[in-house]
Amino acid sequence: MGYTLLAGTKAPVRVWTDPYGIEPEAAQQLRNIGQLPWVEGVAVMPDVHFGKGATVGSVIAMRQAVSPAAVGVDIGCGMSAVRTSLTAGDLPDSLAALRGAIEDAIPVGFAQRDREVDPRRVRGLEQGGWDAFWRRFGTLHDGVSKLESRAHLQMGTLGGGNHFVEVCVEQGGSGQQSSDAGRVWLMLHSGSRNIGKELAERHIAIARRLPHNTDLPDRDLAVFLTGTPEMEAYRRDLWWAQEYARRNRAVMMALLCDVVRRILPQVSYDEPISCHHNYVAEESYGGVDVLVTRKGAIRAGAGDLGIIPGSMGTGSYIVRGRGNADAYCSASHGAGRRMSRSKAKKMFSTEDLEAQTAGVECRKDAGVVDEIPGAYKDIGQVMEQQEDLVEVVAHLKQVVCVKG
């Protein structure tokens, strides 16, 4: 559909949805971001909605600056997926045992492990760099040293909220090879767990106190500037937390593959796909070097494979980026919420949840009503609005969904 420019900003704020459909609080957040002196431009994805610190579904390109609150507290949160050799017909008639085995293998919610995962004992998990990665913990912000044991025990755990593990079946459709319809995929969504949150909160507090942030339209948008010790310290911790999130998903995916292998030993796996959607990257556009913060957005460079989930009852998409520089080579990170968690709990019941997740082996209790599909935007419409950002490789529909 192309983009529309949001009025009332210094830097261009390009919007890949109806700008009049953006909630007023989110629109004001976007205008505040567009007023910052360091901002080169902003791309607004069709899953846009109001968020803490900055708008979810926004891509912020800054010159020699980054806002830790815009990145958020779940540094490196993202998706992983892998296509299996299985088809829907290979799955057992009842998927309850499969769901139970996944929940036994991967702690969810606030749970952590009794013992840390030994990468050498996990089949299919990358073996390189673990010792060097953990040694770098000692270089992180002084205040998190006491959290190292917890960080070890949370490696390979899901967390709560909108994080999930799914077993999905590929759907047939226009533009997709019919031979792939019915293929089983494994998918999961998680981030940097408590250690990412702790690092983020410490740096956000530091940024708020810096004198150059005194007169900002929103103190949540306080930035660090290149060449300062505060920026160097944040970047060090940021890169580490992003790696923690990537390795966390890799551990869970390897464990998930092993669960399926034990139940269906004939399975084999393609190369996994993995992408962050809350992170910072160093990129260049039009000859200008920028720090790109994707807050609820994935990189969609030309040929890049990405994952765009819907909700626990509507399915997801595997996509290939088109490399649209106007959007800083980005696309949405999901369907995006259309209402808050508190509003969803008031509006929907467990009976509604059962109806909207019919055919999916998942929790259907009051603890996950706030994740009901009705609380999210229409993923089909979201995909239509970004046809110039990505092409669809596969449309998946979940048959098992494990929530935190």
Residue 149 assigned ligand-binding role: no
Residue 164 assigned ligand-binding role: yes
Q: Kindly give the residue spans of alpha helices, DSSP state H, lying in 160-226.
A: 193-208
Burial tier of 237 (Cβ tally within 10 Å: 0-12, 13-18, 19+)? buried
Please say if 333 is a catalytic residue: yes
* Catalytic residue (one of 203, 276, 333, 395): 333
Burial tier of 266 (Cβ tally within 10 Å: 0-12, 13-18, 19+)? exposed
Residue 334 assigned ligand-binding role: yes
Spatial separation of the C-alpha atoms in residues 360 and 285, rounded to whole Å: 43
Residue 162 assigned ligand-binding role: yes
Kindly tell me the sign of the dihedral angle through the C-alpha atoms of 111, 360, 251, 376: negative
Residue 316 assigned ligand-binding role: yes
- Helix 193-208 with 229-263: angle, nearest 10 deg: 160
Residue 333 assigned ligand-binding role: yes
Pairing of strands 65-66, 297-299: unpaired
Beta carbons within 8 Å of 88's beta carbon, 6+ residues apart: 169, 182, 184, 399
Structure token digits, residue 379: 């993923």
Residue 336 assigned ligand-binding role: yes
Beta carbons within 8 Å of 270's beta carbon, 6+ residues apart: 82, 83, 84
Residue 403 assigned ligand-binding role: yes
The DSSP string of 298-353 is EE--TT-EEEEE--TTT-EEEEEE---GGGTSEEESSS-BSS-HHHHHHH--HHHH
The 10 Å CB-count burial string (b at 16+, else e) for 317-340 is: bbbbbbebebbbbbbbbbbbbbbe
Beta carbons within 8 Å of 265's beta carbon, 6+ residues apart: none
Spatial separation of the C-alpha atoms in residues 76 and 59, rounded to whole Å: 14
Residue 312 assigned ligand-binding role: yes
Supply the residues annotated as catalytic. Answer: 333
Question: Binding site residues for Mn(2+), as ranges?
Answer: 74, 163, 189, 277
Question: Binding site residues, as ranges?
Answer: 74, 162-166, 189, 277-278, 309-312, 316, 333-336, 403
Question: Binding site residues for GMP, as ranges?
Answer: 162-166, 277-278, 309-312, 316, 333-336, 403
